[in-house]
Amino acid sequence: MTKLSNSLGAADIATALHPYTNARRHEEAGPMVMRRGDGVRVEDAQGKTYIEALAGLWSVAVGFSEPRLVEAARRQMEALPYYHSFAHKAHEPAIRLGEKLVEMTPEGLDRVFFTNSGSEANDTVVKMVWYMNNALGRPEKKKFLARTKGYHGITVASGSLTGLPANHRDFDLPVIPVTHLTCPHHYRFGRDGESEADFTARLLAEAEEVIEREGPETIAAFIGEPLMAAGGVMPPPEGYWPGIEALCRKHDILLVSDEVICGFGRLGSPFGCTHYGFTPDIMVTSKQLTSSYMPLAAVIFSEKIYDAIADNSAKIGTFGHGFTGSGHPVATAVGLENLAIIEERDLMGNAARMGARLQEGLRRFAGHELVGEVRGTGLIAGLELVRDKATRESFDPVGKVGTLAFEIAHEEGMVIRNVGDTLALCPPLIVTEADVDEIVARMGRILDRTLEKVKAGALG
């Protein structure tokens, strides 16, 4: 094969290393090359159209090819295509977006730091918290609490916070002091006969036991997604988040809400923390912030944290952290327009309305022979496939049947994601009733065809 090829697929195989991909399998299978998107649909290089039922990567809130975002980027490219925010420099799009985020987020979140991705944002959270505690004369207060199956990114620090084996294995992670608590998913981690309320009580007792064992004076922060998404779409049990917040307040531990997927209406509420009734000290946002038209993330945090950081930057001469693209003018201009569209078109309200329709439609599959649990909130849902519904026994190996369903979904003209054997859905916030009904109908065909193949021995 020549280094340059007329075939996009061949050229990709010859040159690229893909994220979250088995590289050797990719050499055999090749890429699905996408060339166009419009609304909730995308088209591949062969002209086949798909419902994009994962919104790209949980992120395209306003749909594909939104003209206003294209125009916002064009205008900013013409005016100021790039500038940085180091050494007292600033520009209007980042300033205005910072104002908007402080206005939109819960009371007490008054300062904003921009990064290029959610991974960088959570990495920044770790560094900010360590910097702050050093400044306050608390050098021992550096540990983090996270959860098994939580997802917070893939940098060295944020990947350490993530609680998924594939993100640790052979990367020598975690390398920062973090304890991963039990995943708050009652279906999979509740004990036999344990009610949801008892499950919540056990998890809160576990968290407090870890805090007391490690010493609250050593624990800096608790980080969590309000609804765990990339780990398998797992809403928390009732009472979980207010209980975690109470523990954090009791022991002087910062509470970090990772809203990279939940934020800006995904659950039918402005943010996951507002949906589940807790108030964080730090919020991390990305993805739907720009509908992923441009790479952008934001850490929004309290004035108390800012004051400690600002005082220390005056003491030592600088806050020595930042990125070339922090608050990029084109990205922040697109973010401003994206949030304006979400508000003007009531896409958060649409997520609540269409989310109810989606959840109702998908719950019809609870009795399907393959489906152990249907779960989700708003416009995010997961269907966990199991070998035995009565015992909740998983397929062995986990992920093989999920991958089979993922591939059948492409044949059925729908893009989903399989997280192990959980089929994840997360359509754009602009979905209509007709879109939702078509997603549910195609999911029914995907499940039936997957069951047929499983019964025919496709799993070996």
Q: What is the reported pLDDT for 6?
A: 58
The reply to whether 435 falls in a domain is yes
Dist CA 174 CA 181 (whole Å): 14
Same domain, 401 and 315: no
Same domain, 327 and 355: no
Dist CA 112 CA 98 (whole Å): 6
The reply to whether 401 falls in a domain is yes
Same domain, 282 and 423: no
Same domain, 363 and 397: yes
Same domain, 249 and 164: yes
Same domain, 81 and 36: no
Dist CA 102 CA 397 (whole Å): 46
Same domain, 98 and 229: yes
Backbone torsion region of residue 334, taken as left when φ is above 0, otherwise alpha when ψ lies between -120 and 50, otherwise beta: alpha
CATH of the domain at 373: 3.90.1150.10
Q: What is the reported pLDDT for 265?
A: 98
The reply to whether 13 falls in a domain is no
Same domain, 222 and 307: yes
Residues contacting 318, CB < 8 A, separation 6+: none
The reply to whether 362 falls in a domain is yes
DSSP 317-385: S------TTTT-HHHHHHHHHHHHHHHHTTHHHHHHHHHHHHHHHHGGGGGSTTEEEEEEETTEEEEEE
The reply to whether 24 falls in a domain is no
Pair type for strands 49-52 and 41-44: antiparallel
Q: What is the reported pLDDT for 245?
A: 98
Token pair 């589940």 in the structure block, residue: 276
* Token pair belonging to 159: 């990947």
CB 160 within 8 A of CB 150: no
Q: What is the reported pLDDT for 315?
A: 97
Pair type for strands 282-285 and 297-301: antiparallel
Domain that holds residue 235: 69-344
The reply to whether 367 falls in a domain is yes
pLDDT less than 70: residues of the chain: 1-6
Q: What is the reported pLDDT for 273?
A: 98
Same domain, 53 and 116: no
pLDDT digits (tens, 9 = 90+) for 343-390: 999 999 999 999 999 999 999 999 999 999 999 999 999 999 999 999
Which of these three, 314, 344, 374, is where a domain ends? 344
The reply to whether 27 falls in a domain is no
Number of domains in the chain: 2
Same domain, 212 and 256: yes
Q: What is the reported pLDDT for 214?
A: 98
Which of these three, 306, 325, 344, is where a domain ends? 344
Token pair 């090819």 in the structure block, residue: 65
Same domain, 232 and 112: yes
Token pair 């943010």 in the structure block, residue: 271
Residues contacting 368, CB < 8 A, separation 6+: 447, 451
CATH of the domain at 293: 3.40.640.10
The reply to whether 15 falls in a domain is no
pTM for the model: 0.97
Same domain, 355 and 283: no
Token pair 């806050």 in the structure block, residue: 319
Which of these three, 299, 322, 344, is where a domain ends? 344
